[in-house]
Amino acid sequence: MSTKLILVRHGVSADTTAKRFSGGLDGANPPLARAGEAQINAAINYIGEVDAIVSSPVRRARQSADLLASRVGLPVFEEPGLAEMCFGAWEGREMVEVMKTDPEGFMGFFSSVDQAAGATGESLIEVQARVRQACAAVVSAHEGKRVAVFSHVTPIKVIVADALGAPLLSVYRSHLDPGGVSLVEFGKRGQRVLGFNLRSVS
């Protein structure tokens, strides 16, 4: 029996709109913007029935999950391993600014899986390790179910890359919209990507 994870990227926050590095719980943790609420409500219209709701504890993801929870009457289970990457010294800074002030660090980070973001943040391979553990825990707890999982751009892309058996750096070669819905199936024969950055889920 397979378990389907419906992966939903949170809606926009002020940092998303301003193209700032906005990480997990170590950062400013901005709330979901009104435009972000609209994005999530639109996504919810396509998700269909779910058996459980899991969320990153980061505010913008949790608020996104709460919008679905209030509609379907299910509790939200938080999974810390699904939080966004910690961006260290880059936290809260615009990407364009970081490119200008720390070009070597910026280019090094986006071309390496083991270089920490902003010198003191997480590396991509560290994020992959905790996201894998989080996924395994969610699948184990909700075996055979359809689970809505509210998370962030980096963790969701890592899950998809793992399911495809793609190189980890491939996460930087795809685009995932705020409120974008992806679908990954976990079964006895492994994982399958059934959709990425969708607006509808069958």
What gap in Å lies between CA 121 and CA 166, rounded to an integer? 24
Is 84 labeled as catalytic in the residue annotation?
A: yes
| Predicted TM-score (pTM) of this structure | 0.96
Residues written for the chain: 202
User: Taking a C-beta distance cutoff of 8 angstroms, is the pair 28, 53 a contact?
Assistant: no
Candidates 37, 78, 79, 84; catalytic one: 84
Taking CA atoms, 36 is separated from 30, 66, 69, 116, in Å, by: 12, 13, 16, 29
CATH tag for 3-85+126-198 (out of 3.10.580.10, 1.20.1250.20, 3.30.428.10, 3.40.50.1240):
3.40.50.1240
Q: Taking the mean position of all CA atoms in its chain, how far away is CA 81?
A: 10
What gap in Å lies between CA 85 and CA 21, rounded to an integer? 10
Q: How far apart are the first and last CA of the chain?
A: 18
pLDDT for 200: 58
Is 10 labeled as catalytic in the residue annotation?
A: yes
- Average pLDDT of each block of 10 consecutive residues along the chain (202 residues)? 97 96 89 97 93 98 98 98 98 97 97 97 99 99 98 99 98 97 96 91 54
